[in-house]
Structure 1
Amino acid sequence: MPELQDVEANLPPTLVAEIAECGFYPSLVAESVAMGLAGREPLDFLVQHEATFAGHELHRHMTVLVRTAAQLIIVHIDEGEGARDEALATVETVALRSIDSVVVTRAMREPERRAGLNEAWLTIVWGAARRVDLGPAACEDPNCEADHGYTGVIQPDDITVRMSPQADGDNARRLVAFGSRLQGAIG
């Protein structure tokens, strides 16, 4: 494996600083980003560090999105479960031409005055994953007891990143800006 300083030398200093600021396995995250870039020049990036609770356990996750001239690199690091001292590092490369949709959603406080951002979501769809929501089908007859099978919806579910100023500070605004630039990059 390359030394951390070698990895960091190939990444923008602002990206290295944001990764380090999160304090979540910074050398693993930086190495994974460098691996995904494979020498390509990063043009834009977004870093999200998220903590979730499952019962009494804290689980940390980190997602780094990096745009190059032709690809979107997605790095996701998950903390190991339970008492295991491990992390799962996933690197995915998506061609920008493969991206079907980039959706930026903002929840605005006092929308008439645009008083501030409460929350923001960035959803990127390229067709790698789909979510199926199924439920029993029914007819209009309230007395009908026939089995009408199932009805459902198949929705794209590739990646959604959610941030709020309360939890993520200025990164919520950065998410909106990154999403807008990505929308422009895919045409």
Structure 2
Amino acid sequence: MRRSSPPPSYGDLPADLVSAIERAGYYPALVSDVVAHAVGHREVRSSFVHQETTFDEDAVRRHVTVLALTDVTLVIVHADDREAPGGGVVATASSETIPLTAVRGVMVTHVVPDAARYVPGTLGREVTLTLGWGTVSRVDVGPATCGDPSCEADHGYDGTITGDDIALRVSADADGEAAVRSALAFSRAMSASTGLPLAR
């Protein structure tokens, strides 16, 4: 009789990833277990944990997103909660595992408040990390032109399709400088892994 492998526990995750999930303070045991389950027995090479707080008219809601990069996959875990009809709170944590061969792009937008005083190497105080793998696309359409500013002819429409599966905004003022550095480090690891032959 063949023995089955024991299920991964969050004790198998890197200590820095577990610490980041615990610092987020959002159901850390649940989030860590879901990340470990999605990662399986693969080694996490890089990770990023992003917490976001949103305000509704009558409630404050928190969300946490965990990105974990292995040698062949990108794992994304998102957790949030809602009030149950009978009282209490229901938490929902979902995971998605994307093969690195499917990742189409890694885009990082840097925001510099005072560009004239930019310090080389700082890369701004706010970044938006966008990852695309083809599940969701954004279509931007506008009137086409011929380049002649005096031309009034109808040239139809022109547009672009941009992959925009997940976008995370990280600000030094709201999230701390360490969070911005962590997002940049993860983006570098993702960029280095995208489009490369997979490790065997």
Task: Please report the TM-score for the alignment, with normalisation by the length of structure 1.
Answer: 0.82
Long gaps (5+) in structure 1: 1-5, 142-149
Contact 1:104 1:180 in 2 (8 A): no
Partner of 1:120: 127
Whether 2:180 is the aligned partner of 1:172: answer: yes
Residues 1:48 and 1:9: Cα distance change in structure 2 (over 3 Å): same
Alignment of 1:53-72 (within 5 A): 53-72=55-74
2:167 to 150, 153, 160: 160
Contact 2:46 2:70 in 1 (8 A): yes
- Return the offset for 1:113: 4.0
Aligned counterparts of 1:134 and 1:87: Cα–Cα separation in 2? 38
- Return the offset for 1:7: 2.0
Residues 1:135 and 1:53: Cα distance change in structure 2 (over 3 Å): farther
- Return the offset for 1:114: 2.4
SS of 2:9's partner is helix
Contact 1:67 1:73 in 2 (8 A): yes
Q: Indicate the percent of aligned positions where both proteins have the same amino acid.
A: 37
Aligned counterparts of 1:129 and 1:38: Cα–Cα separation in 2? 25
How many residues align? The count is 176
- Return the offset for 1:80: 1.7
One-letter identity of the residue aligned with 1:161: L
> Could you tell which deviates more after superposition, 83-92 or 69-78?
83-92
Residues 1:17 and 1:132: Cα distance change in structure 2 (over 3 Å): same
Residues 1:74 and 1:114: Cα distance change in structure 2 (over 3 Å): same
One-letter identity of the residue aligned with 1:127: G
Contact 2:10 2:35 in 1 (8 A): no
SS of 1:42's partner is coil
Task: Please report the TM-score for the alignment, with normalisation by the length of structure 2.
Answer: 0.77
Whether 2:103 is the aligned partner of 1:99: answer: yes
